[in-house]
Amino acid sequence: MLKNILFDLGAVLIDIDFEKVCKSFENIGIKDFEKQYSQLSASSLFEDLEKGIISDVFFYEAMQKQLHSTLPFEEIKNAWNSILLDFRIDTMLYLSELKSNYNLFLLSNTNAIHLIEINLLAQQQLHVEELDVYFTKAYYSFKMGMRKPNADIFEFVLKDANIKAEETLFIDDSKPNIITAQHLGFNTHLLLPHERVEKLSLI
């Protein structure tokens, strides 16, 4: 019997655009951004950012070095945040309905820069103080020092939330993350680009 639902964030609850962020970085002078960051892979710089190993300032300075310029941090931040589009409003409304039937959790590979922007979007579009209000608990990779698809981040969530994998549905748009969750005994759903959570008939 399902008691819990564990959600990914990007391309599940909020729309993201890898082509747009690549174009934004190209516009400021980085031509091969897709080789550094994509849905399926990330360079050590971006992995370290998403694990909270490096600071925002270190990240901005590393990008400046790639550009061989002192481009303002604000312009780099804007390029990086351009991957984030809009929340899926119908999906977020559905989450409010799901809370009466399940414990809801979030597990996202994200970084401190993006989380600030995500919460600003939540205030503007969802009229809540922060995204976390939708969940029993939200887990962000940069706060944990771990990152999907590694098993340790899932194991941490299970222990910290005191939930069982077999009683939990994990919804993510990335196949490697789904595979790890399946190996650990989670029920899973790989959310395809045309699918929306509110159409999965979970109630």
Q: 100 in helix, strand or coil?
A: coil
Q: 184 in helix, strand or coil?
A: coil
CA distances, 79 to each of 19, 64, 83 (Å): 12, 13, 8
For domain 4-15+86-111+127-199, give its CATH number from 3.40.50.720, 3.30.70.260, 3.60.110.10, 3.40.50.1000. Answer: 3.40.50.1000
**Between these two residues, 69 and 10, which has the higher pLDDT value?**
10
Give residue limits of the domains in the chain. Answer: 4-15+86-111+127-199, 18-81
Q: 14 in helix, strand or coil?
A: strand
In sequence order, what are the beta bridge partners of 189? 171
Mean of the pLDDT values across residues 81-95? Answer: 98
Predicted confidence at residue 39, as pLDDT, reads 62
- 119-137: pLDDT as tens digits: 999 999 999 999 999 999 9
Predicted confidence at residue 35, as pLDDT, reads 79
Asked whether the whole model's pTM tops 0.85, one would answer yes
- The CATH number assigned to the domain with range 18-81 reads 1.10.150.240
Per DSSP bridges, beta strands 84-87 and 14-16 are antiparallel
Predicted confidence at residue 68, as pLDDT, reads 85
Predicted confidence at residue 34, as pLDDT, reads 79
- 174-197: pLDDT as tens digits: 999 999 999 999 999 999 999 999
Separation between Cα atoms, residue 127 and residue 96, nearest integer Å: 13
- 23-81: pLDDT as tens digits: 999 999 888 787 777 666 668 888 999 999 999 999 999 989 888 888 999 999 999 99
Predicted confidence at residue 41, as pLDDT, reads 61
